[in-house]
Amino acid sequence: MGDTKYVFVTGGVASSLGKGIISSSVGKLLQARGYNITIQKFDPYINIDPGTLNPYEHGECYVTVDGQETDLDLGHYERFTGIQTTRANNITTGRIYQSVIEKERPGDYLGKTIQEVTHITDEIKRNIKLMGKIYKFDFVITEIGGTVGDIESQPFLEAIRQLRWELGKDAINLHLTYVPYLAAAKELKTKPTQTSVKQLQSLGIQPDILVLRTEHELNADIRKKVAHFCNVDENAVIQSLDKPSIYEVPLSMQAQGLDTIILQKMNMPIGDTPQLGPWRSFLDRRNKATDIVDIALVGKYDLQDAYKSILESLAHAGTYNDYKVKNHFVNSEKLTRENVAEQLKGMAGVVICPGFGQRGIEGKIVAAEYTRTHDIPTFGICLGMQMMVIEFARDVLGYAEANSREMDEKTPHNVIDIMEEQKNITQMGGTMRLGAYECDIRKGSKTYEAYQQQQISERHRHRYEFNNQYIEEFEKAGMQCVGINPDSNLVEILEIPTLKWYIGTQFHPEYSSTVLKPHPLFLSFVKASIDNLRQTQQNSKKDK
């Protein structure tokens, strides 16, 4: 197709307007037209990656197949486009500085003063263009984190300004802003948008397209006004109205011609509007599914973003099972033997969430015991699986002090132990077992039934593992190690086949569920939860 085209996505007025969703939608729409696309995000903070950040600060840490710990927006990129991202797709200020400094020490810039503009901006530009050069994408969509006006974002915006000058028609800027509604005046206000565009212009960037996030329909007059004040074509002022689901956004963008405007501005042929058939069927099915299945998430982070990919994976699986999954957050720190029955009452299935550290783990163990002994479908993910193992060791094998070395270094029954290659690691950032590893699944297991495949590959993010010295004991007592890494022999999946659905995975299946390709384990877990719900409903009818 010729040279790579670049779409830069910036944001103004406020954060959390959904730049990630707009970028994903643009990616989806261009991809549907047959283009080879990728979406990249720059995060203007000094951490090398978000791996060392608390989920309260940053939400979930998403992991790519090649083992990069990244921003949760990359999860959206993958769920929307089905394309796998890599280390090159998420870059922080920290990483930019790190690579500049790493070149400075050996003398790569000998004799020169290393400066923000030139060296830092060049490194940013290099990372943007790398996508086109090495991977030969038709379109690279680059989202700049933060809001225009932030001190931290300045070098990124300067890099974009330069690139737009260098690339001419091959680069455009899409700016996302907010149009607030003042209830008292019953009016939508465009001033914040105007101010934010002025701010962008003062940095030398003229937006080509404006996407206005709003809670109320914007009429033609408002769009005209914004176009007029901001030097943007009228048809390039697009509204992004609140939607019941983020997956509606590409359709709404397509209906307003966002993709055709991008192509026009870049002198590209327009062609037919893609049907987005499978995407529409997904949404139809999603909207038709009205029956509710209640699923509990047992974890310590009381915020949605911390378990973003799990929530999305459950939602995908719900749709493909023609049910709506209703999530109930159960705080593991407050979960006790005394209140667990009450807390998990009415739940058709339970997810025991991933996590790090001591806080809230006893609650996860209590949940694992309750669901095991009451045969409620249970999905343990990473730390969740480790807690299933500890619970089983304590209650079934009789090792009252069984624990993970992460929580109790001196436990006599270290059923979860530190991995050999982790023992001498002292640095925290980027040193866990990260990214995709292979796993062989035992034929005849429940897990095999779900995957219908013997060899799989799944993404990891952990330091501790199931201690293989205990394999035989666990298997004899009924908990089977049904997924094993063929190279390292690490146990990846455990299950109790005599229960309805009691499976724990050391990996994170939630990172790879997409809209058009829901994850087999989530599909099968949600199905088991629905079956469980139906059975409970039937039993209660019989009782009456």
Shortest distance, position 196 Cβ to ligand GLN, whole Å: 38
Contact flag: residue 123 with ligand GLN (CB under 6 A) = no
Alpha-carbon distance values, 4 to 86, 134, 274, 463 (Å): 18, 11, 21, 39
Shortest distance, position 192 Cβ to ligand GLN, whole Å: 39
Of 344-383, binders to ligand GLN (CB under 6 A) are 354-356, 382-383
Residue recorded with tokens 């974890």? 299
Shortest distance, position 291 Cβ to ligand GLN, whole Å: 31
Alpha carbon distance 295, 378 (integer Å): 10
Contact flag: residue 466 with ligand GLN (CB under 6 A) = no
x-marked contacts with ligand GLN along 168-187 as a string, rule CB under 6 A = --------------------
Among 463, 503, 521, 527, binds ligand GLN (CB under 6 A): 463
Closer by beta carbon to ligand GLN, 162 or else 422: 422
Closer by beta carbon to ligand GLN, 235 or else 422: 422
Shortest distance, position 383 Cβ to ligand GLN, whole Å: 3
Based on C-alpha coordinates, what's the Rg of the chain? 25
Shortest distance, position 70 Cβ to ligand GLN, whole Å: 14
Closest CA to 330 of 356, 355, 305, 350: 350
Q: What backbone torsions phi and psi does residue 295 show, to the nearest 5 degrees?
A: -125, 130
Shortest distance, position 520 Cβ to ligand GLN, whole Å: 20
Listed ranges 174-182, 282-290, 329-337, 458-466: which one lies at the site for ligand GLN (CB under 6 A): 458-466
Strand, coil or helix: 326: strand
Contact flag: residue 300 with ligand GLN (CB under 6 A) = no
Shortest distance, position 333 Cβ to ligand GLN, whole Å: 16
Strand, coil or helix: 141: strand
Give residue 22's identity as a one-letter amino acid code. Answer: I
CA 255 to chain centre: 26
Among 462, 482, 484, 518, binds ligand GLN (CB under 6 A): 462
Instruction: Enumerate helices (H) and strands (E) in the chain, giving the number of each.
Output: 18, 22
Contact flag: residue 464 with ligand GLN (CB under 6 A) = yes
Closer by beta carbon to ligand GLN, 205 or else 367: 367
| Other CB atoms within 10 A of residue 99 CB | 14
Enumerate the active-site residues. Answer: 382, 508, 510
Copy the structure tokens of residue 512.
């790879």
For residue 522, give every residue at least 6 positions away whose Cβ sits within 8 Å of its Cβ, in sequence order, or none.
313, 314, 316, 317, 379, 509, 510, 513
Copy the structure tokens of residue 40.
């990249």
Alpha carbon distance 521, 182 (integer Å): 46
Listed ranges 176-184, 302-310, 455-463, 487-495: which one lies at the site for ligand GLN (CB under 6 A): 455-463
For residue 163, give every residue at least 6 positions away whose Cβ sits within 8 Å of its Cβ, in sequence order, or none.
6, 8, 125, 128, 129, 171
For residue 153, give every residue at least 6 positions away whose Cβ sits within 8 Å of its Cβ, in sequence order, or none.
44, 144, 145, 146, 147
Listed ranges 308-316, 390-398, 459-467, 534-542: which one lies at the site for ligand GLN (CB under 6 A): 459-467
Closer by beta carbon to ligand GLN, 383 or else 388: 383
Closer by beta carbon to ligand GLN, 139 or else 464: 464
x-marked contacts with ligand GLN along 399-418 as a string, rule CB under 6 A = -------x------------
Closer by beta carbon to ligand GLN, 259 or else 406: 406
Closer by beta carbon to ligand GLN, 50 or else 355: 355
Alpha carbon distance 484, 471 (integer Å): 11
Listed ranges 151-159, 234-242, 250-258, 456-464: which one lies at the site for ligand GLN (CB under 6 A): 456-464
Shortest distance, position 538 Cβ to ligand GLN, whole Å: 36
Closest CA to 11 of 157, 182, 126: 157
Closer by beta carbon to ligand GLN, 47 or else 252: 47
Size of the site for ligand GLN (CB under 6 A): 10
CA 103 to chain centre: 32
Of 5-44, binders to ligand GLN (CB under 6 A) are none
Alpha-carbon distance values, 43 to 72, 73, 90, 203, 306 (Å): 11, 11, 7, 19, 18
Contact flag: residue 461 with ligand GLN (CB under 6 A) = yes
Q: Identify whether the C-beta of residue 501 lies closer than 8 Å to the C-beta of residue 264.
A: no
Q: Given the rule CB under 6 A, which residues bind ligand GLN?
A: 354-356, 382-383, 406, 461-464
